[in-house]
Structure 1
């Protein structure tokens, strides 16, 4: 798999700098931040995908128009809210309007937010794998018939063939191993070195079974980051993403960090009831320590350096900080110090 300039993805020793932008802001505003991120040296920008925010693909189209080189993709979309064939077409459209810069971030989605829509996250590992397998065939110009966790009959895309890298959003052992065996990269839903070290072991097992024709593989920490001049401000801004991470964390992850499971359950219950304010208020300091990189530029740089012992790069995940432009610049500086 190659970059738009023809270089192999994963072929450079330089860590990848990624950023997640959340379309809680209007698309034009997100595009401004993407342009700023590109000027600060970021390699790839993901638009987060939640039903309660603006459409990620609309945001990505605006981001494409505001940038020239940075790669762009959903981060991560799930194949439950939208049919996988439709997702393949949307990703191919972003590839077209960005002149070949698209990436496809796909995962099983947040169980709590899917439950708000009455969606059962059934067979997530198989659903994700089938989604990007079918997408690759569609991007190659094939007509696809598929019967599995979803159905497609004689489906094809009225678009030029494309080669789009697939990054799987993963946290659990099976999804991590599957991504290492089949995808082009993984977005590890973790910020703490303890979690990243464990994830690296799972990825190594998957890579041991990876077919040679799949080429290089890139492991990125999709880390919630909040950075500001004042540490207290940065930690306060971290509450929303930490709530979603903690609310969806598996029991072994909670145990790994010795976080109070009752406190995690309280966050999860508030999310499932759609009470976001209560969920954010129930986030505890140990949750922020475990599930986010939050603090000043110096603190964040130290955490980035520790994370890079186990991954090929870092996606600076939402919220970034209380001031977006300042946070993007500070995150870039922290990455520069760490690398």
Structure 2
């Protein structure tokens, strides 16, 4: 069973790379992350950015050892069988380095595209269950939250570890019971401690044949030589995090619901400048790991009391290569 108490030398070091950059640039950033000792790189998936699987192909070409996968895709705007095929293709082109990050997706973004966000836990579980069968070479017929009839993949059988993006209690417990790992959408020790308790409930119901389970904090991070520059770069992701945060999360951090709603409204109206301006220092402290290398190292160490590893999430910092190097150094100090 996962030990949440003491970080070890085997602590997983992950990083999120956002395809707001051209695929070739994504390859360069992945190569930098590999040189800096990161174990896994996730390409985030948002409809307004470039395709994560195209980016991952370039990332695979530019690297040799780092594991690669989407972080995270959702099974609403792309059919789950298609996602299984795309993930398997990345595993193929990377010579077996593929991982599969899947979650329910952002409700507001899906609404923009006309998708209903119905039965998210069941849809995510069914999606990676079907993917595992397809990767094993099976022909599947599925009737549930989605339909697939006599579907199979024209690929050699393969195995990919499944990481579920989770924040709420039910998705956390489900991931611990059924997946290979979890990507906890949180940066603060209070959130991670609470999430660890939910994961333990799922692990209590986990079948022995499921193998080991890994919990990773998917933590928004901004690191730079200058503290103020790092914190300023944190405003955009914090605005999106706060705008979509559930009431219990806001209450845990004593963040005013009305202030969060104003940020959410500004984001939905496309007034991003106003949304970013409304981010307070407390919001940055509670929803991002931001500061100098030493500050970030201390925050990483506090997070690692509750998880098995960290995925350094966007924005990374005001200067990307510098931020990747500093985040690697901070993780080394923290572990």
Q: Same fold (TM over 0.5)?
A: yes
Normalising by structure 1, what TM-score? 0.95
1:276 Cα deviation from its structure 2 partner: 3.1
Counterparts of 1:158 and 1:275 in 2: how far apart (Å)? 45
Q: 1:75 is matched with which residue?
A: 71
Provide, for residues 163-192 of structure 1, a one-character-per-residue CA deviation record: whole Å limited to 9, x for no partner. Answer: 000000000000000000000000000000
- Provide the aligned C-alpha RMSD in A: 1.0
1:101 to 2:97 alignment: yes
Q: Find 1:89's aligned residue among 79, 85, 96.
A: 85
Q: 1:8 is matched with which residue?
A: none
Aligned pair count reads: 328
1:13 Cα deviation from its structure 2 partner: 5.2
Alignment of 1:149-160 (within 5 A): 149-160=145-156
Counterpart contact for 1:16–1:43, Cα < 8 Å: yes
CA separation of 1:317 and 1:61: change in aligned 2, threshold 3 A: same
Q: 2:314 is matched with which residue?
A: 318
Q: 1:234 is matched with which residue?
A: 230
Higher mean alpha-carbon deviation, 16-25 vs 276-285, is at 276-285
Counterparts of 2:204 and 2:59 in 1: how far apart (Å)? 37
Provide, for residues 195-223 of structure 1, a one-character-per-residue CA deviation record: whole Å limited to 9, x for no partner. Answer: 00000000000000000000000000000
Higher mean alpha-carbon deviation, 321-330 vs 236-245, is at 236-245
Counterparts of 1:73 and 1:250 in 2: how far apart (Å)? 27
Q: 1:61 is matched with which residue?
A: 57
* Unmatched runs of 5 consecutive residues or more in structure 2: 1-7
Counterpart contact for 1:223–1:293, Cα < 8 Å: yes
Provide, for residues 215-271 of structure 1, a one-character-per-residue CA deviation record: whole Å limited to 9, x for no partner. Answer: 000000000000001111101111121122112211100000001111111122222
Provide, for residues 35-80 of structure 1, a one-character-per-residue CA deviation record: whole Å limited to 9, x for no partner. Answer: 0000000000000000000000000000000000000000000111
Counterpart contact for 1:112–1:271, Cα < 8 Å: no
* Unmatched runs of 5 consecutive residues or more in structure 1: 1-11
1:208 to 2:204 alignment: yes
Alignment of 1:19-34 (within 5 A): 19-34=15-30
Normalising by structure 2, what TM-score? 0.96
Counterparts of 2:184 and 2:221 in 1: how far apart (Å)? 14
Counterparts of 2:309 and 2:16 in 1: how far apart (Å)? 13
Counterpart contact for 1:115–1:272, Cα < 8 Å: no
SS at match of 1:109: coil
Q: 2:125 is matched with which residue?
A: 129
